[in-house]
Amino acid sequence: MALNIPQLVQPIISAMKPELVKHWHDAKDFAEAEALKTAQTLALIAKLHAEKKIDAGQARALLEMQKHASQAVLLAIEGIGLLAAQRSINAGLAAVAQMVNGVLGFALL
């Protein structure tokens, strides 16, 4: 079963917003773009894992790279600290954890 990118994006954004609420006006466009990139990465991980092109360790490494990239983008917004950036990313991933982990068959998130 493939992951549906549009079904992932909105829950990620919805979970990120409360963590960035003080900066949402400035962060909105960036958070939405990073939510899309994260959803695309998760869908790609699921596809590659289903095709047995990557294992669980490689899937985790790919997810970590995406998390770091999203964090770097969010940290570029004035006033957003490391903790807020990390919390928003973690909240977004937690919002889709059950769906993603169910498709993968292992706990990635």
- Residue spans per domain, the chain: 5-104
Cα gap 81→6, rounded to integer Å:
28
- Over residues 33-38, mean pLDDT: 98
Residue type for position 92:
G
Note the pLDDT of residue 85: 95
Position 1 scores a pLDDT of 75
Confidence of residue 60 (pLDDT cuts 50, 70, 90): very high
**What is residue 7's DSSP assignment?**
H
Answer whether residue 22 shows pLDDT above 90.
yes
Contact 47, 39 (CB under 8 A): no
Percent of the chain scored above 70 by pLDDT? 100
- How much is the pTM? 0.94
The 10s digit of each residue's pLDDT in 77-104 is 988 999 999 999 999 999 999 999 999 9
Which residues, 6+ apart, have CB-to-CB distance to 11 below 8 Å?
92, 95, 96
